[in-house]
Amino acid sequence: MDNASRSERTRKAALQAALTIIARDGPGRLTLDAIARESGMSKGGLTHQFPTKEAVLKALLQHQIEYFGDFTARYLAEAGAASAQPRLAAQLATLREAITQPHSVALAILGALTQDPGLLSQTREASGKAVDAIKTEAADPQLALVRWAAAQGLTLMSLFGLNPLTDQEREQLFDRLRDDRQWSALAESNPRATAPARKRKAKS
């Protein structure tokens, strides 16, 4: 095994150990010593990859940001054209996908919130860019954001085990949020709604 492959395997083992510790013992028990013990690696080998606990948490969050960023990009490439609001559709699909990975996503967020809320700045930045894209393409930006915010709420409740709905009820709500046909009449009835910005620019 070459050095790059060995290094990547060490990183993955350390991150998985960190998730196990947060789930079993709580984020307050996450230390480099605990990660080394859980993963079976030496403290020196661990600190070569992650010199601090904060570096571990940053890596957990970065992994999630990259995974879901790639998911969003693939969705836009493969299915975006079928939607009147592709950016919104991609975000709704991505939020739904996050529920399939509740363990790693929730624990990464929980660990960061507990240890250093500032670590979530990248997540807020990514959400801000998504919101801007959704508003730009929507005829009724507020209605589009209502759909996005509702999906965010469903996802976060599910990730943190707070959702009182059955899985079937949750999926039915996601289906309704993603169905443009059920929202187009509301958008058209809003007197302040305008054509999406990208279409207005095309006409000018």
Helical segments of 99-191, H only:
102-115, 121-137, 141-159, 167-178, 181-189
In this prediction, residue 58 carries a pLDDT of 85
The tokens of 117 are what? 């809320």
In this prediction, residue 106 carries a pLDDT of 65
Residues in the chain, overall count: 204
Query: Tens of pLDDT along 45-66?
Result: 899 899 998 898 888 888 878 8
Handedness of CA 153, 155, 158, 163 (dihedral sign): positive
Q: Which of the four pLDDT bands, split at 50, 70 and 90, describes residue 1?
A: low
Could you give the 3-state DSSP secondary structure of residue 140?
Answer: coil
Measured CA to CA, the distance from residue 106 to residue 156 in angstroms comes to 8
The tokens of 54 are what? 């904060």
Q: Which of the four pLDDT bands, split at 50, 70 and 90, describes residue 201?
A: very low
* Domain boundaries along the sequence of the chain: 83-195
pLDDT at 195 over 60: no
Please tell me which residue, 106 or 170, carries the higher pLDDT value: 170
Residue 133: Cβ within 10 Å count? 16
pLDDT at 154 over 90: yes
Measured CA to CA, the distance from residue 186 to residue 138 in angstroms comes to 12
The tokens of 196 are what? 């999406």
Residue 134: Cβ within 10 Å count? 22
Helices 167-178 and 141-159 cross at an angle (nearest 10°) of 160
DSSP 190: -
Ramachandran angles phi, psi of 137, nearest 5°: -90, -10
pLDDT at 41 over 70: yes
pLDDT at 25 over 70: yes
pTM (2 d.p.): 0.76
**Any residues with CB less than 8 A from the CB of 42 and at least 6 apart, and which?**
36
The tokens of 203 are what? 């006409």
Please tell me which residue, 105 or 196, carries the higher pLDDT value: 105
Query: Tens of pLDDT along 90-129?
Result: 999 999 988 887 566 666 766 676 667 777 787 888 889 9
Strands (E), 66-131: none
